[in-house]
Structure 1
Amino acid sequence: MTKKEIKIFLDEKAAQYEHPKFLEDDPIQIPHRFTKKEDIEISGFLTATIAWGNRKSIINNASKLMEMMDNAPYDFVQNHTKKDLARLGHFVHRTFNMEDLHYFLCSLQNSYANHGGLEAMFTKAPQKASIQDGISAFKQLFFELPHQPRTQKHVSDPRKGSAAKRINMYLRWMVRPAEKGVDFGLWNSISPKQLSCPLDVHSGNVARKLNLLKRKQNDAKALAELDKNLRKMDPEDPVKYDFALFGLGVFEKF
């Protein structure tokens, strides 16, 4: 296919998959259960944090996590005590365990108390064409409280070579427009044009087949290469193509 044909093809696939039906089997359904901004962004952040592995397992465990917080994540984050953390019981999703969860909840409490919340934390770094520096700045702030070093692995850092798939997915949820009924369009301090594609095995493989990506590893360099090519097709909203790449890979085995 020519570059023009690839754009037409991906525009059509993006429109096909950016649809409320997408929510049925995707972890983004968890924050869609809430209406308050802070509930959406906190439930989305925690869900994205554990979003690796089997999607059914992700959704089940994210649902359990919301129930543990009485389905009021912002209230729980704001007002929980050490006793509340102790009564949460046992939670684990792959390598994310109760120790990690306790720190995440305490750090989220700190973020709203001292940094203006999650959105503000992602915009601490100077605004650039890409939000990747913002992700690194966010991680530094998020782990400013005393913590076990192992917990840091649950927030990826682009400056250390990571494609930061889960954080980029979360930012897509929060920033892209809500008009199609999938993403939320909650955050106005970050532009859709700054977003990067959540690069994983599926989207990476499809991108390579379409000659949008040559690098073999799914790392920060590959993400920069893919970003460059997606921005050529739509400089204002390059990450809409995440729906196309993901849908082609997962649902069509392209």
Structure 2
Amino acid sequence: MPENAVKSLADLFPESERVFYERAPLTQVVCQLKFPKILRIESQPPADFQDDIRGMFPLLEQVQMQVPAELPPEIAQMIGLSMAAGNFLFRSEDRKTAVHLTAETLSLSTSSYSTWESFKALLWPVMAALEQRYRPSFYQRVGLRYVDIIKRSDVNMAGTPWSHLLKQEVLGALASDQFEFSAEESTHRMRLRAADGGQLNFRYGLVKVRETQETAYRLDFDFFREEKVEVANAKPTINGLNAMVGRAFRWCIEPVLHDALGPKPIPLG
């Protein structure tokens, strides 16, 4: 690790007031935990786990496994490749939020995020169900990913240059008009590691909105710790990752976009 590496990823992004955005550009939030393989998840249907979370996630799917193209279907069925053992998806009734359980991972994802508090109200019981029913020894990776798709039409700024809305450090060459108005594609990926072990996969750049073909800008933050995390420390670790996501987003945007998104303070407690 270089001597001048930051101690924590939080040091890269200044502190900022927590707010709720009325016009938040979030399209997906995912929390994933990886743990040493538990064979019981593969060998037995997770009936008790389902009972624990069924009130929030009543719909069950067993995830299809990718079958090699060269393998005849009858052979795939014979050896049990038609469905992936120990690969289950539990969905909310509106299908916007899902829990994915495998023999090595647990994740909660949603396309209907409102606040961290409401997300935790789903995440903590799901983690409790895993820990009670399967007792993972520890976690090997704890990650939290937020995907924002900023559409200028959503904030009545269609045609406004990106340089008015996003920091030059994020835009790169797109901060110059001569590049922005000619660019059809601009994508970037950066991986950062701090001295304390925190890591960030940061993907950002132009994207096309499929339904409208509008050019939008993606800010995709995947904060994680890829190291041994004791079960008792998982919640504080996840809370710490969430705090950095908010600071990173605020660092990327200019005040005019912050105001246009309709920030509302989140009461303490």
TM range (shorter): under 0.3
Largest Rg, 1 or 2: 2
Taking structure 1 as the reference length, the TM-score comes to 0.27
Structure with higher strand content: 2
- Greater RCO, CA 8 A, separation 6+: 2
Which structure: greater helix fraction? 1
TM-score by length of 2: 0.26
